[in-house]
Structure 1
Amino acid sequence: MEEGGAGTRQRILSAAAEIVRMGGPGALTFDAVAARLGITKQAVIYWFPTKAELMSGVSVPFLEAEAEAVVAAVSDAESPADAARRVVAAVTDFHLGDLDRFRLMYVVPQSGRRPGARETAAVLERVHPVTTRMYDAVEAALGGGGEARETAVALHMAALGVAMLTATTEALGDPMAQAPRRLAARLAAIAERGAMR
């Protein structure tokens, strides 16, 4: 069953994502991935020498997809106010559509062992270009200059807040009284009005 390097790498990432979804970050070990795939631990380590690299291999493509959704949303915004609304809508739509993916991107990295400086640098080397590209596009759509970059980051953070509270209440089995998608739409409307000032 020879499938080549790219196939093995993708199988490892898929298995790692499933292990984290099922058991949290503590369940992700090289041994667990190897056992799930029926390969050796050394085969996993060949592709991902550290757990931080394995986790970033799982989460960075999701971050890239989030950034692409935001960039596409603002690419034809008619005004800064429209761009602000579109950012919130794109981020909340992306994450409310798959809360497990959201958890892998934003919750799991906070709940595991803190990686060392070298591991962190390797992850950030992959993350920073993605977020920079996203924030550059939003900043431009907001008209650039002044506080546009800060506004771009704040819009993203606010939208992530809707996903975070939704994921938390779902995990606790205590759904919010207001529908998350309606709250997201309300936040998008507030962002649009705020950008018109």
Structure 2
Amino acid sequence: MPDRPTRDHILAIAHDLVLSKGPSAVTFDAVARRLGRTKQAVIYWFPTKRDLLAALFLPALEAEAEAVIAALEGADGRAQAIDRALRALARFHLADLDRFRMMYLAPQTSRGRPGGAGLVDKVHPVTDRLYGVLARHLDPADPDGARAEALALHAALLGLMTMQGLAAALEDPLKHDAETLTEALVAALTGRASAT
């Protein structure tokens, strides 16, 4: 069996290509050139481009979901669940803005569906679990409404991370730091006064 570091090196190259040029730049030829190996060496580990993109995206999405689910454990009530979920998401994404860009921004700039239907089929169970756990903390009596709210909360935090990422990329810091903005978002969405 070929050594696992080759697989990891392929993923690192693909990650760099996604961040620097977008998902459409991830081709077997481009990865093989940077790897210094044949195209077949890449195909051995990832038979399709969808497999390669899924190997980049899914672990990050699963880690994001796990961070939120772990933060929700023992949450007492709706406001605390919102507080814990948003703070966990902020910590997760601020720890690695490049990972955030790869997860949420790069796919939007590519033509077509970067992972295709196969990736979507793998994403749905992860997001369903994340939104389901959060929804149970928000309003167990209204699972459909709470699930929509869970998605909206996630999207609100992703918007904040988009602004953080943009400011970092432009080397033009926002007037307020990420912690202050996260606190303001939590306060706005829980209906309590902001500490700032």
Question: In the TM superposition, what is the alpha-carbon distance from 1:7 to its structure 2 partner?
Answer: 4.3
Instruction: Name the aligned partner's letter for residue 128 of structure 2.
Output: T
**Alignment match, 2:15:** 17
8 Å CA contact 2:69–2:134 kept in 1: the answer is yes
Higher relative contact order by CA 8 Å / sep ≥ 6: 1 or 2?
Answer: 1
Instruction: Tell me if the contact between 1:75 and 1:141 (Cα under 8 Å) persists in the aligned partners.
Output: no
State the aligned residue count.
190
Structure 2 equivalent of residue 132 of structure 1:
128
Match for residue 47 of structure 1 among 45, 48, 72: 45
Percent of counterpart pairs with the same letter?
Answer: 45
Compute the displacement of 1:83 (Å).
Answer: 0.2
Taking structure 1 as the reference length, the TM-score comes to 0.87
Amino acid at match of 2:134: V
Given candidates 67, 79, 83, the residue that maps to 1:81 is 79
Indicate yes or no: 2:167 matched with 1:169: yes
Ranges of 4+ aligned residues in structure 1 off by more than 6 Å: none
Report if aligned partners of 2:19, 2:106 keep a CA contact under 8 Å in 1.
no
Aligned partner of 1:36 in structure 2 is 34
Name whichever of 102-111 and 24-33 sits farther off: 24-33
> Which residue of 172, 179, 182 corresponds with 1:181?
179
Q: How does 1:33-112 map to 2 (within 5 A)?
A: 33-112=31-110
Counterpart amino acid of 1:84? I
Q: Which runs of 5+ in 2 are unaligned?
A: none
In the superposition, the TM-score normalised over structure 2's length comes to 0.87
Partner of 1:190: 188
Any unmatched runs of 5+ in structure 1? none
Instruction: Check the 8 A contact 2:22/2:107 in 1, yes or no.
Output: no
